[in-house]
Amino acid sequence: FHNGQFVGPFVYGRQMTLDMDTLKRNYTDKQDDVQRIRFFCKGDSYRFWGLIEGDRHLVCPAENGQLFLAGTDRLGRDVLSRIIYGARISLTIGLVGIAFSFVLGIVIGGLAGYHGGIFDLIVQRIIEVLQSIPSIPLWLALAAIMPITWSPILIYFGITVILGLLHWTGLARAVRSKLLALREEDYVLAAQLMGASSSRIIRRHLIPGFMSHLIATATISIPGMILG
């Protein structure tokens, strides 16, 4: 509301004055200058993820106006856009790494929990060895393996694979413990009697039984993967 009238979301225009003694910029609100904020409106064209071309924006300023949600630096560049642009690699490495470790943990943990025996014993010993190694020296050793001649794209995927190989152990143990309990259920025995293969039983009958747990685990693991 402005002066008792509903105008929707808005901000006041600002006027800049320069203190000639300290050369400090001072900003004051102009109460008579109402700048409405528009949503899902057309603006400058862009490519979403560098692939999909579009011109719709979530938030748009008033006509001939500019919107800086996190302010600008001394050169007038949008701080929020620069933060998001600079964080692309860290964010995508976390998401892709979690997807890789998610698949690896489900496959290895599922086979170990369903079949058991010597395969389960070997998997558990491998998990114990990986979890007993300090993380930082292991990261340094694996990073040193990557050749200097690799392109940035190969280095990106190399780091993603390294992080995925180091974060699958916890999920594999969780999947194994769940499958050890679920494989004794009657519906699993019925599927076995009908001739279903092990992969089909794990994929169609066992994994959906605790998919909510897997989704929650993957969601919680994303910040840890991003932080390294």
pLDDT value of residue 93: 80
* Residue 216 confidence (pLDDT) above 80: yes
Q: Are residues 25 and 38 in the same domain?
A: yes
pLDDT digits (tens, 9 = 90+) for 138-155: 777 877 887 888 887 888
Tens-place pLDDT, residues 15-28: 888 888 888 888 88
Q: Is the same domain home to 153 and 198?
A: yes
Among 85, 105, 133, the domain boundary falls at 85
Residue 4 lies in a domain: no
For residues 128 and 36, state if they share a domain.
Answer: no
pLDDT higher than 70, residue 228: no
CA 170/CA 195 separation, integer angstroms = 31
Report residue 209's pLDDT band, with 50, 70 and 90 as the boundaries: confident
- What does the pLDDT read at residue 192? 87
Are 108 and 197 found together in one domain?
yes
Q: Which residue has the higher pLDDT, 166 or 113?
A: 113
Residues 95 and 191 in one domain: yes
Query: 151: number of CA atoms within 13 Å, CB side?
Result: 2
Contact 64, 80 (CB under 8 A): no
Q: Identify whether residues 109 and 192 lie together within a single domain.
A: yes
| Together in a domain, 77 and 123 | no
Residue 187 lies in a domain: yes
65 in the same domain as 92: no
CB under 8 Å, gap of 24 or more: what pairs does 120-126 form?
Answer: 120/176, 123/172, 123/176, 124/176
Q: Are residues 146 and 209 located together in one domain of the fold?
A: yes
DSSP state of 21: T
Q: How far is residue 180's CA from residue 149's CA, in Å, rounded to a whole number? A: 46
Asked whether residue 176 falls in the same domain as residue 70, the answer is no
CATH number, domain with residue 159:
1.10.3720.10
Q: Is residue 5 part of a domain?
A: no
Tally of domains within the chain? 2
Lowest-pLDDT range of 17-21, 33-37, 116-120: 33-37
Identify whether 180 is part of a domain: yes
Q: Is the pTM of this model over 0.75?
A: no
Q: Which of 66, 85, 104 is the last residue before a domain boundary?
A: 85
In terms of residue numbers, what domain contains 79? Answer: 10-85
Burial class (CB in 10 A: 0-12, 13-18, 19+), 130: middle
* Residue 3 forms part of a structural domain: no
The whole-angstrom separation of Cα 170 and Cα 159 is: 19
Determine the average pLDDT of the residues in 180-192: 86
Confidence (pLDDT) at 1: 65
- Domain shared by 44 and 65, yes or no: yes
- Identify whether 1 is part of a domain: no
